[in-house]
Structure 1
C-alpha cells in the first residue's frame, strides 16, 4: 500500500473533511479524493460517507482506523532507522510546543547528548495541532505538550504540574489591574477558570504565545498569567512580582509517544525526560 493513502485517510479523520485535509496536506481536493478512491478499491470497502458537514467513517473505515496509524508509524520509523549516522544505534526525533522549548526541551536535549550518546537526535518545535499529528504519523518519536488530545495509538504520560501565576511589573499591585493586564490564551480550560474567577475582566490585549506575551510585559510593563518556571528568574531578579492572594491555575505538561514505539530507544529517553522535569539531573 502507498503510505500516502494511509496518511491522507488519517488527515481526513483528524479534520473531519476532505477539504480541510487537502489544505493540511497542501494538495488539491481532487488529489485527496483520488487517493481515497484508490484506497477503497484496494480494500474493497467504502471508508467514508460524505455529507454537507464533511465526512464520517463507515464501519469499514472505523476498522481501518485501528491499523492506519501503525502503517504510517512503521514507515516513518523505517526511514529513521536506515538514516542512522555512523557510530549511533538509533535516531530519536524529539519535539515540543514552542512555549516548552525553553528550558524543558533544551535541558532534555542536553541530558540526551551526555547520557545517551549512542542515540542520534533530531529536535523539532511546532504548534500543538501539527505536533500531535506528527507523533501520530511517526514523524516525531516523543513530544512534550500541554493538554494533548487522546487518539488511538498514542501513549500519554504526565511529566509535571505547571502553575500559571499572576505576575506584574508593579510591586505595589494587589489585584488584577485591567489597565495593564495582558491576557495570555493558555487554552480552553484556562479560559473557563479565568472567566469564573474574573467574570468582569475584558482585556484589550491578548496573545496566544507565552514567550512573546512575557517579553511584551517585561519590555513595556504590565501583568499577566504565566508559567511559574518561566517567570521564576524574573521574580528572583526583581523584574516581576507575584500578585498576592490571586488564584493560581494548574497547567500539566505531558510526554506523548506512539504506543508502538521502539521501547529500547524511547524508554531510556522518556526516563531521562522525567528526571529532567523533576529537576533530578545535573547538566
Structure 2
C-alpha cells in the first residue's frame, strides 16, 4: 500500500472535504478522488460517502481510520529507526519491576536514574523510554514487541523470550516496636508479597507470619503502611536501613534477610545482538 493513500484518507477523514484536502496536500481534487478509489479497491469496501454537505466516513471507514493512524505511526517509527545511524541511535523501550526504582543500586541514588546514566553512556544517541511495571505484563509486552528490555523478578517462560540473571537485591525485616522475632505481633505484621519467589522464601522461613491482616506487593506501599500503622514488615535493604538511620524503625536483629533475584529479559531475536550484550553486561556489573 502506498503511503500517500493513507495520508490522503486520514486528511480527508479530518477535513471531510475533497476540496480542502486537495489544498492542504497540494494536489488536485481528482487526485484525491483517485487515491480514495484506489484505497477502497485495495480494501474492497467503501470508505467515504459524498454528499452536498460534504463527505463522511462509512462504518468501514470509521473502523479503518484507527488502523490507518497506527500504520502511519509505525511507518514513521520505522523510518526514524533506519535513519538513526546504527544501533546506538535507536529508540529503546525499557521497563523495570516497581521495586527496582529508588535507591536499589546505591544509597541515595535512584535505580532507574542510574540505569539511564549507564545506558546513555553506551548509547548516547538513543531515544529512551522507561516505565515501571509488573513481571507478567513486561513479559507480554516483550513478546508483543512493545518493549526491548525488561528488568524483572519473575521470568515467565515463553519460546520467544530470553532471560539472564543480573544479581539480587535483599529485603530485611524492620519494626517500629520489636527488636527480635519473638517480639513481633502477628496481628501487627504487614505481609510483603513482592514476587512468588519472595513469598515462597518467606513462607518457608517464617510460616507463623505468612498470614497477616494487611499485605502489599510494593516496597513503597509497605513503607507507607508501616509509617501510618506501625508494626513490622520486610522492606528493601536500602529503604529499611534509611528508616532505621532516621530513627523511624529498627531492624529485627534475628530475622533472616530474604534475597530476591533480578533478571534481564529480551526477545529471543535480540539475544546475541551486540548492543544488548553490552547493556546486560553493564547492568549486571551495577547489581554486582
How many angstroms apart in 2 are the aligned matches of 1:198 and 1:171?
16
SS of residue in 1 equivalent to 2:187: coil
Distance 2:195 2:128 in 1: 30
Q: Tell me if 1:82 matches 2:72.
A: no
Give the one of 108, 124, 129 matched to 1:122.
129
Deviations 1:201-242 (A, max 9, x none): 331111122211112213432211122133232233333322
Distance 2:192 2:172 in 1: 11
TM-aligned CA distance change 1:171 to 1:200, over 3 Å: closer
Normalising to structure 1: TM-score of the pair?
A: 0.63
| Equivalent runs, 1:50-199 vs 2, <5 Å | 81-84=78-81, 89-102=89-102, 103-170=110-177, 172-175=179-182, 176-199=184-207
**Which of these residues, 210, 214, 229, is aligned with residue 219 of structure 2?**
210
Q: What do you get for the CA RMSD once the two structures are aligned? A: 2.8
Question: Is the 1:160–1:254 contact (alpha carbons within 8 Å) kept by the matching residues of 2?
Answer: yes
- Rounded to whole Å, the distance in 2 between the matches of 1:163 and 1:109 is 22
Instruction: Determine the C-alpha separation between the residues in 1 that align with 2:204 and 2:119.
Output: 42
Q: Distance in 1 between matches of 2:75 and 2:260?
A: 35
8 A contact 2:165–2:263 mirrored in 1: yes
Gaps spanning 5+ residues in structure 2: where? 1-72, 103-109
Alignment gaps of 5+ in structure 1: 1-75, 279-283
Confirm or deny: 8 A CA contact 2:168 2:287 kept in the other structure: no
Measure, in 2, the Cα distance between the counterparts of 1:171 and 1:199. 18
Distance 1:265 1:234, change over 3 A: same
Provide the C-alpha distance between the structure 2 equivalents of 1:81 and 1:267, rounded to a whole number of angstroms.
23
Q: Provide the C-alpha distance between the structure 1 equivalents of 2:76 and 2:258, rounded to a whole number of angstroms.
A: 41
Whose radius of gyration is greater, 1 or 2? 2
**What whole-Å deviation, never above 9, does each CA across 1:9-56 have from its counterpart, x for those lacking one?**
xxxxxxxxxxxxxxxxxxxxxxxxxxxxxxxxxxxxxxxxxxxxxxxx
Q: 1:264 to 1:187 in 2, by over 3 A?
A: closer
